[in-house]
Structure 1
């Protein structure tokens, strides 16, 4: 009898049912918003590479522009939403919007003060950060100039730590109310403003500037322009939170509130997740700075990796997290397990096409991304090799991402913490090994392999933790994932033809971009049709 009840519960939550279809539709809406943000993010990377070129100044600008985001991760980073959303969902169900607003206000008061302190530490540490980011430059004169340039840029971007914290709080408030679109689209505004700043520098001072010829003008425009970009992003997220009925009203009264103390305690226990990832990425970028333009190549590959994970796994987990949290709150173990299987299946389904496309079309994609000062055969080859590695890394990152969301929905911080340590150890091991590689191109590929090693280690750790937590429920839908793998086979002829066509060398650059986009869209459409047919075949 118990088995039959459990089976009926699983069937009610199956992917062929209306509730699951609603999850798919919502995930598609979130994916659309994220697509806009990620495409502008790719344009941002392309514009930076085209204007600044493979120079040490480009390395300094890209690396310092990531410092505030990495520093904000010390407070909570991506873990902030994973901790706050389940709590706010439960508080809303128990005490209504007023209680949730009060909780958010006290949590945000603490976090904004903490982020302001960290921003001050970043500013005071600017000389040290500048020294670290220029350490790998062999020429002493260039190294000194790069150190001074990076120091000034760090000072200009330090306030972004507070702004990123405010943006994350606003996005978490919207997610708790199941308002996803603006939160997903808002980062696009940040990208647009920064692109404008880079274009101004290219038009007014010329492209390809290196540390030896840089002046105060372009430094100020790029530094303040990037900070203004994050401010616009934060304002949009706060506006969205207010429209969702959860305006952020920072309060200093967090000490006497036991629920706030519980949230902050879970954030403290979860700090290793963003911190270890930030440390791993920072060390990786420092290693990439030993190659002229290496930071741009690695960041381009990393940005490409984030696109499919954001459109797939992040969109799915954003939609599923409130439901999984609600299942935990009502002690519905079967419902939670069904939601997890949905999340894992959808994340796998959305990660398989990028795996095939990025592996097979790595060189044409690299050629499309490398423009202006960055367009050279050597850099294109380096980027193509990195993209092939990233293709596998994005699949591992997707599984890792949805696994973390499921654990946080259970208010489990121990297993994610262990996974973060595994990610850091694996990534640093491969990164330090890359420094022993004498060839520049091979070194950058090994550095990207460090990203892959870290995500694999994290994903394996998270899956083991979830498998134990889900027993006796099934933890994976083997049949649906097998169908997705078979559907992926339908893409192979289209991708093979596209690769052959793009390798003929008889088409213009613009034509190549159009052909590449058409090949990707047709292949994904065929794959989506094959997946849909397999789902319809299972519907009663």
Structure 2
């Protein structure tokens, strides 16, 4: 059984990012197909809710929780030269996960309707959409067990330094969904695209593709995992050295991750009381928002966790390791900021162009583009905080500190929902129309729109979802401030951006200013290329500006590229 990787943090995070990039690109293809056939229709709302409900178990039992509870123990056993004990822990944890996920999946299928009421009760005012959502929840729930075991595979592979496969595997889920949607469209759409009947059948086929894709995502990882964990016996056992430690961490981490997931589902519940299309708008905006979170925040945190765990073990054993961990955290925060800050500026300045390039086709028109951009802008307010927070959480989890992330996550949820609920009621009276923004109702508002007005969205797209997104963005900063204080108490002072935030922000502002001045010209381009041109322009200004200002990460990446080019020429 091989030990953890000894490569650099930058190389490891690069492999994670590469895998996630493939997954996210295929996810964008799926979302574009969804936008083409469904737009922001009732069927799109139904699929959005149904896809989120079973994902609750995946997130609670899967990747995030296993990364924080299983990987530190498993990685430490490998680092201590105890591969046999590490294998026993992996076997026992897998057995427990299969037992838990299987039982809860059966309950989910049986209780699909009450679960839908609990999560998106507002849809009952739209009976057809509610009934379709219940059918989709029941259809897709079996994918949960497959995805949870797939997340266990990710934990094993990451601990052995095998980052790319575990993060590229989810692309198979996206591919399966796209294939299912394409087959359904070929079979069903015969000049009636956009009709309610066709849209309902399309999302049912999409549900089948989700289950098939979950199986493929698991199967592609199993051969490598079995080679690394020879003698694997997935029997649910608690009295195995290391397993009690995993379970002790598991509870608080589930609480922390559960609070975040509860926030997501309460956000869905609130959005179900908004005008039709709000749930779909949130979905499309989150696809763009989560792209840098996954590529940069998750990639850096996932690559850093095994190294931070090893440093924590060294600190406990010999009194060292703290300085090394602190350097890893600060270097990671610098990598995150160098990539995320210009992304955030781009979303705010030319986010409509990016949205149009990805989604404007078929049922997804210019009104939907502007509405999704405004929702995206709300999320983007907290983008830097969210991505930095992933790494700060990893630093705490590596030291077996699970209580503080749970508390800070709870505070974030409360702030997000309170602020978001107030803002969504006001902004659901504001709509994007062909003539611009208009107020359609009395302000201030203390209650949701009347039920008979929620489906009346002809020619307008209401902006209640943007209020929820802005509440989430503001709350992310509350959380990251608390996490930074906790890391400072454990390791020492840490700076957002690794001490380079001012220079990074200045370079990003210069890129944003140029893109803003070029907006009139960019808007004349076809939607398919306008976003690409905007991103290219941002990069063309940001990279040399950051280099001139001495942003370390940009300078090092450019130097590495130059060395590779020279080596190939030589």
TM range (shorter): 0.7 to 0.9
Q: 1:404 aligns with which of 384, 393, 413?
A: 393
250-259 vs 145-154, greater mean Cα deviation? 250-259
Look up the SS of the partner of 2:122 in the other structure. coil
Provide the residue aligned with 1:510 in structure 2. Answer: 528
Q: Offset at 1:510? A: 3.2
Q: Distance in 2 between matches of 1:92 and 1:174?
A: 12
- Say whether the 8 Å CA contact 1:287–1:431 is kept in structure 2: no
Give ranges in structure 1 of 5+ residues lacking alignment.
1-18
Give the 5 Å matches for 1:385-404. 385-404=374-393
Alignment of 1:522 with 2:511, yes or no, is no
Provide the residue aligned with 2:331 in structure 1. Answer: 342
Q: How many equivalent pairs are there?
A: 511
Q: 1:91 aligns with which of 68, 71, 77?
A: 77
Give the 5 Å matches for 1:346-495. 346-437=335-426, 438-439=428-429, 441-471=462-492, 479-492=499-512, 494-495=514-515
Give ranges in structure 2 of 5+ residues lacking alignment.
316-320, 432-461, 560-570
Q: Distance in 2 between matches of 1:194 and 1:213?
A: 17
Q: Offset at 1:172? A: 0.8
Q: Distance in 2 between matches of 1:213 and 1:407?
A: 49
- Say whether the 8 Å CA contact 1:491–1:526 is kept in structure 2: no
Provide the residue aligned with 2:33 in structure 1. Answer: 47
Provide the residue aligned with 1:12 in structure 2. Answer: none
Q: 1:127 aligns with which of 107, 113, 118?
A: 113
Alignment of 1:271 with 2:254, yes or no, is yes
Q: Under a length normalisation based on structure 2, what TM-score does the superposition of the two structures give?
A: 0.83
Give the 5 Å matches for 1:223-262. 223-243=207-227, 245-246=228-229, 249-262=232-245
Q: Distance in 1 between matches of 2:247 and 2:422?
A: 37
Look up the SS of the partner of 1:271 in the other structure. helix
Q: Distance in 2 between matches of 1:484 and 1:35?
A: 23
Cα distance change of structure 1 residues 59 and 133 upon mapping to structure 2, 3 Å threshold: farther
Give the 5 Å matches for 1:129-168. 129-132=115-118, 135-137=121-123, 143-168=126-151
Q: Offset at 1:395? A: 1.1
Q: Distance in 2 between matches of 1:323 and 1:313?
A: 16
Q: Distance in 1 between matches of 2:494 and 2:260?
A: 30
Q: Distance in 2 between matches of 1:108 and 1:375?
A: 42
- Say whether the 8 Å CA contact 1:79–1:270 is kept in structure 2: yes
- Say whether the 8 Å CA contact 2:20–2:168 is kept in structure 1: yes
Cα distance change of structure 1 residues 319 and 137 upon mapping to structure 2, 3 Å threshold: closer
Q: 2:281 aligns with which of 284, 297, 320?
A: 297
Q: Offset at 1:445? A: 0.8
Q: Distance in 2 between matches of 1:424 and 1:152?
A: 29
Provide the residue aligned with 1:287 in structure 2. Answer: 270
Give the 5 Å matches for 1:149-228. 149-206=132-189, 207-210=193-196, 218=202, 220-228=204-212
Cα distance change of structure 1 residues 136 and 369 upon mapping to structure 2, 3 Å threshold: farther
410-419 vs 381-390, greater mean Cα deviation? 381-390
Q: Distance in 2 between matches of 1:234 and 1:520?
A: 38
Provide the residue aligned with 2:66 in structure 1. Answer: 80
Look up the SS of the partner of 1:344 in the other structure. helix
- Say whether the 8 Å CA contact 1:60–1:133 is kept in structure 2: no
Q: Distance in 2 between matches of 1:73 and 1:154?
A: 16
- Say whether the 8 Å CA contact 1:407–1:466 is kept in structure 2: yes
Provide the residue aligned with 1:107 in structure 2. Answer: 93
Look up the SS of the partner of 2:521 in the other structure. helix
144-153 vs 199-208, greater mean Cα deviation? 199-208
Provide the residue aligned with 2:450 in structure 1. Answer: none
- Say whether the 8 Å CA contact 2:59–2:261 is kept in structure 1: yes
- Say whether the 8 Å CA contact 1:490–1:526 is kept in structure 2: no
218-227 vs 274-283, greater mean Cα deviation? 218-227
Question: Where do 4+ consecutive residues of structure 1 move more than 6 Å?
Answer: 212-215
Q: Offset at 1:47? A: 1.2
Q: Distance in 2 between matches of 1:158 and 1:402?
A: 31
Cα distance change of structure 1 residues 27 and 77 upon mapping to structure 2, 3 Å threshold: closer
Q: Distance in 2 between matches of 1:432 and 1:454?
A: 13
Give the 5 Å matches for 1:11-90. 22-75=8-61, 77-90=63-76
Q: 2:290 aligns with which of 306, 311, 314?
A: 306
- CA deviations on 1:57-76 (whole Å, 9 max, x unpaired) are 11111210122212222335
Q: Distance in 2 between matches of 1:534 and 1:456?
A: 24
